[in-house]
Structure 1
Amino acid sequence: MSTAERTRALRRRMVAEARRAVVDGGLQGFTIEKLCERVGVSRRTFFNHFASKEDVVLGIELNADTDMLAAFAAGAVVPAGLAPLPSVIALVIEQLHVAGIDRADEALVRRVFEREPALTARFLSATDAQIAKVADAVRQRFAWTDPTDPRARLVSEAAVGVLRVSAGVYFADDFDETSGPRFDELLDTNLRLMTAAITTPDQEGTL
């Protein structure tokens, strides 16, 4: 296992333990010290990966995708010939390949929000900050240098829409992983549907 893989595994373990602790006893039911003890790391190690107790519960990692976004902005990570929106969806798929995706973990997240609905505001704030980072990377990749040009933000928000709709299908309680499409396949299909819907007058919505 590489250093990067060990780091991701450690982060996933800390996040999972923190979420289980919240479900069991609420956000105030555990401390960073208790979490570190359960995972077997020091406080210093914890703060190398997460800024706060709330962030570890939400899986908001410090500098988790900085290198990938920088490489994307420079024209790497995904094929150079892709248009802006497909390039962002390809970036999301690449991130999923690195981080993985787990339906059981998503169910745990829902239980966390049910137990601590106040965390929703922090999650939405972090999501908006992430969208802004992606928009900056898109702006650099496609040389949209005018600060008043809204295209990078529009592309990033559109990608979030594709991601949200795809997640709604994939994480539904009645979704069958054995027969249903992979998440990246859902993303690709919904991207094509969206592209067709906004570029053709076809009322049937065919591809």
Structure 2
Amino acid sequence: MTESAPTLREQKSIATARRLRMTARAWAADRGLAGFTIEELCAEVGVSRRTFFNYFASKENAVIGIPLKSDDSDLDDEFLAGTGPLVDDLLERAVRRWERLEISGDEVPDLIRVLEHEPRLVTHVVGLVEESDRDDIELVERRLSIRHDPDRAPDLAATTTSPDDVRAVTAVHLVGGLVRAVGAQFFAPDNTATYRTLAGRRLATARALLAD
């Protein structure tokens, strides 16, 4: 499916979010999170405080680059309808979510500096990861339930999915571990590969190790 080009209004919105994100990140790297207020950030970028909260839920999310309005429901629907290997489809969803963050190379140094010197931000990231893992486990459970619905997949009707299905937890933790390792590798100063390429390599290595 081809996506239509963004309208002028959407382009302006993207540019505003980028200015807020990059300014917040640069200031946090130089001053620390406590070294500036949201009001000062807004004044620098030329937007109101209300506008800021149309883009980001908090100063921490602005620094990391987590948008307030992030609709990945289309990716969820594609994953639920996927027919490929579960882990492959789950990793593809993770890669596409990353690509939507549009983290460019010139943003990486400031982001690394912030994460190295701001324990508070690291704690915030850990919380976001844990929340994301819980959502992903629920999503995988839904996919497994669909596969095991006697009206949808008669050949698998003998198996049902429990709320704490170990397959869902294992799949999410496996892909989550790969994704976090890929993130660290992607941010390495000498890296020239795309996030997608690195993720594919990690999955291939994991599959070879598990098959050994």
Please report the TM-score for the alignment, with normalisation by the length of structure 2. Answer: 0.78
1:63 to partner: Cα distance: 4.0
**Correspondent of 2:162 among 146, 158, 176:** 146
Deviation readout 1:147-166 (Å, 9 max, x if unpaired): 12122222111112212222
- The correspondence of residues 115-154 of structure 1 with structure 2, limited to 5 A, is 115-143=117-145, 145-154=161-170
Do 1:72 and 1:141's aligned partners in 2 also have CA atoms closer than 8 Å?
A: no
Q: Residues 157 and 16 of structure 1: is their aligned pair in 2 closer, same or farther, counting only changes over 3 Å?
A: same
Deviation readout 1:78-132 (Å, 9 max, x if unpaired): xx22121101111122223433232332221121123322221111111111122
Secondary structure (helix, strand or coil) at the match of 1:157 reads helix
**What is the letter of the counterpart of residue 148 of structure 1?**
D
Structure 2 CA distance for aligned equivalents of residues 123 and 93 of structure 1: 18
**Correspondent of 1:39 among 16, 39, 45:** 45
The residue number in structure 2 matching 1:159 is 175
Identity %: 30
Choose 1 or 2 for highest CA Rg: 2
Structure 1 CA distance for aligned equivalents of residues 52 and 163 of structure 2: 37
The structure in which a higher percent of residues are helix is: 2
Structure 1 CA distance for aligned equivalents of residues 107 and 132 of structure 2: 21
Deviation readout 1:140-185 (Å, 9 max, x if unpaired): 223274212122222111112212222333322223x2xxx32211
Secondary structure (helix, strand or coil) at the match of 1:118 reads helix
| Higher RCO (Cα < 8 Å, 6 or more apart) | 1
Q: Which runs of 5+ in 1 are unaligned?
A: 202-207
Structure 1 CA distance for aligned equivalents of residues 115 and 177 of structure 2: 21
1:5 to partner: Cα distance: 5.3
Q: Residues 36 and 128 of structure 1: is their aligned pair in 2 closer, same or farther, counting only changes over 3 Å?
A: same
**Correspondent of 1:171 among 187, 191, 208:** 187
**What is the letter of the counterpart of residue 209 of structure 2?**
A
Q: Residues 48 and 92 of structure 1: is their aligned pair in 2 closer, same or farther, counting only changes over 3 Å?
A: same
| Count of aligned positions | 192
The residue number in structure 2 matching 1:19 is 25
Do 1:33 and 1:43's aligned partners in 2 also have CA atoms closer than 8 Å?
A: yes
Q: Which runs of 5+ in 2 are unaligned?
A: 1-5, 147-160
1:73 to partner: Cα distance: 5.2
Structure 1 CA distance for aligned equivalents of residues 119 and 32 of structure 2: 11
Q: Residues 98 and 59 of structure 1: is their aligned pair in 2 closer, same or farther, counting only changes over 3 Å?
A: closer
Q: Residues 151 and 10 of structure 1: is their aligned pair in 2 closer, same or farther, counting only changes over 3 Å?
A: farther
Do 1:162 and 1:191's aligned partners in 2 also have CA atoms closer than 8 Å?
A: yes
Deviation readout 1:24-60 (Å, 9 max, x if unpaired): 2222221111111222222222112222222222223
Do 2:17 and 2:55's aligned partners in 1 also have CA atoms closer than 8 Å?
A: yes
Structure 2 CA distance for aligned equivalents of residues 138 and 44 of structure 1: 36
Do 1:23 and 1:111's aligned partners in 2 also have CA atoms closer than 8 Å?
A: yes
Please report the TM-score for the alignment, with normalisation by the length of structure 1. Answer: 0.80
Do 1:170 and 1:183's aligned partners in 2 also have CA atoms closer than 8 Å?
A: yes
